[in-house]
Structure 1
């Protein structure tokens, strides 16, 4: 079978591998769709992850069909449609430095457990939508970390896949109003499609002024005028986001950071103190990997809008190149026959 693997610095190739053998505690999954993550581009750029430097299998956002079930595995059957938890294989993180990756025809999941390794999904859920499960769990964890309350007014900075997933997550939790901020018109259009109540193009509009119009006035702890937004969600990772959030934040507002900031960001702790702002960060999905699955099943049409490009497995190397090109794509998914 073929596997997509980092074979050197800035080098990714198809590699022929023997088909995996299913042990008594394992399952085999025929991969039907696998999303491309920004980390895949990073792994390729640095030449892989030790101890598999130079031969790191890629792909961790997978959905597929169970083709073989070990004799000791409970709750799973051949033919089940599943989404995969890439952190649930004790042999190592799937597509993140472990011995297996999901950009392949057939994936073995060792010591497979229903609800830990995989979750079963309805047969009518499109595989490319199901393959969003892993990145949407990241978004869902970020939403959970900000502890939104029904009726809250929320602003999401960044309308990439995580930001769009956060919009759906916030709306599912009953917040009152969600605004999305970005500089790319097509992304803002998608934000409206997935349920945002309003959008702001920060390249053309004053974000603070527009938030004041949309969310009304607020104040810090000593009565200084601020904006009425309750939750600020950073899925953009640029310093201006935190600067804007801290300048606008009212008393007891929450700022959630899920984006990766590549450089240190100065923080005005005087402003933080005056507003008693809560700042939380979120990484990964300690509990959300299959919590979000029910949301994807229920809101599949909204989640489908997040996908910008679909490539067949034969063109997986092109898919990786497209995903790594700034501005070329939002969410790329590789599909399999």
Structure 2
């Protein structure tokens, strides 16, 4: 079968690879749609970052580059292994793309998303969504019901946002502040509205992205080039500051502003993956007892995320800005997202 594989920085190729075999306790999925993630773009531009190398193979898969990319995918069950009798061929499903040890302290706590040897299908080996077939353990298979597999490919990024919102403790009566209207900022905004948060403020300088923030549900959009964000948030929140805030950019000044704009005793959630060591003014946390939380991916969040979509509380179609075939993945996918990032949110690949 054909698969888009990462060979090294700037080098993604469509190769012929063996078709994976179903094993006991696993499900074979024919991938229909797979989204290109910002993590994929970082690997393409700067990698290997998370992708294992020959000098350091992944401890659970034993694999190293070249590896098949793609971890935001959904498809149709084509075969089940021995011991699997609760999903059937023809079922539409989304795969939670984890590779975990199941033995470390984090896994035993149920926090498998921070497993000591965490890996992802599509980044660490074990196949990937930019291929025709993926075989995954039954525990990672989530039925989509009547939802389509194009929507299914949006479940993974929406689960990232839902997880961050859940950790924040956001309530309908709260005010929420989201920094950045890139893909993660937008799905965070949509998730906040989906769980009933009444007032969501988004901070974003780019014109096209500001418009997308409104579509995603933002009640206010602030341009940091035009206003003092802390003053503007205080005015919107009647002097209190935001109950919860979300840093989705990975920029020191943005994190500093997020902390300052958060209400005393409030919670600031870092969702971004940082490319450098962050600088944090600790006294801004201490003097107002701000809770600063890290949020990584998702854990037990896929069923609730699917339910939000099925109940019409989130419109995933607003985030789909392109659909391409596997042969166009570099120019029509990776390069398009890199060169026109303000205009695109999620490009789906049909492998």
TM-score norm. by structure 2 comes to 0.84
Residue 243 (structure 1) aligned to one of 256, 259, 266: 256
1:32 aligns with 2:35: no
Alignment of 1:99-118 (within 5 A): 99-109=126-136, 112-113=137-138, 116-118=139-141
Cα distance between partner residues in 2 of 1:201 and 1:173? 25
Cα distance between partner residues in 2 of 1:179 and 1:247? 15
Superposed CA deviations along residues 91-138 of structure 1, whole A, max 9, x for unmatched, are 9631011131110112222xx32xx21111133x23222101112111
1:296 aligns with 2:309: yes
Alignment of 1:125-140 (within 5 A): 125-140=147-162
- Superposed CA RMSD: 2.3
Change in CA separation of 1:198 and 1:75 when aligned onto 2, cut-off 3 Å? same
Cα distance between partner residues in 2 of 1:127 and 1:22? 21
Count of residues paired in the alignment: 323
CA-CA distance at 1:249 after TM superposition: 3.2
Change in CA separation of 1:267 and 1:25 when aligned onto 2, cut-off 3 Å? closer
1:203 aligns with 2:225: yes
CA-CA distance at 1:310 after TM superposition: 2.1
CA-CA distance at 1:206 after TM superposition: 2.4
Cα distance between partner residues in 1 of 2:345 and 2:76? 22
Aligned to 1:221: none
Aligned to 1:194: 216
Residue 67 (structure 1) aligned to one of 57, 78, 85: 78
Superposed CA deviations along residues 224-260 of structure 1, whole A, max 9, x for unmatched, are xxxx321111112212222222333332121111112
Aligned to 1:14: 14
Structure 2 residue ranges without an equivalent (≥5): 58-62, 102-117
> Which deviates the most, 73-82 or 208-217?
208-217
CA-CA distance at 1:203 after TM superposition: 2.3
Change in CA separation of 1:237 and 1:230 when aligned onto 2, cut-off 3 Å? same
Cα distance between partner residues in 2 of 1:238 and 1:94? 28
- The answer to whether the 8 A contact 1:130-1:296 is kept is no
Residue 213 (structure 1) aligned to one of 235, 240, 263: 235
1:265 aligns with 2:269: no
Superposed CA deviations along residues 253-272 of structure 1, whole A, max 9, x for unmatched, are 21111112333333333332
- The answer to whether the 8 A contact 2:175-2:243 is kept is yes
Cα distance between partner residues in 2 of 1:30 and 1:329? 30
Alignment of 1:274-289 (within 5 A): 274-289=287-302
Aligned to 2:341: 327
- The answer to whether the 8 A contact 1:86-1:93 is kept is yes
1:305 aligns with 2:306: no
Cα distance between partner residues in 2 of 1:257 and 1:302? 24
CA-CA distance at 1:329 after TM superposition: 5.0
CA-CA distance at 1:326 after TM superposition: 6.4
Aligned to 1:76: 87
Cα distance between partner residues in 2 of 1:176 and 1:294? 20
- The answer to whether the 8 A contact 2:194-2:314 is kept is no
Change in CA separation of 1:259 and 1:274 when aligned onto 2, cut-off 3 Å? same
Aligned to 2:52: 49
Cα distance between partner residues in 1 of 2:293 and 2:256? 15
Cα distance between partner residues in 2 of 1:34 and 1:137? 15
1:147 aligns with 2:169: yes
Secondary structure of residue in 2 paired with 1:205: coil
- The answer to whether the 8 A contact 2:206-2:342 is kept is no
Change in CA separation of 1:317 and 1:246 when aligned onto 2, cut-off 3 Å? closer
Cα distance between partner residues in 2 of 1:126 and 1:27? 19
Secondary structure of residue in 2 paired with 1:292: helix
Cα distance between partner residues in 1 of 2:25 and 2:285? 51
- The answer to whether the 8 A contact 1:63-1:82 is kept is yes
CA-CA distance at 1:89 after TM superposition: 8.0
- The answer to whether the 8 A contact 1:89-1:117 is kept is no
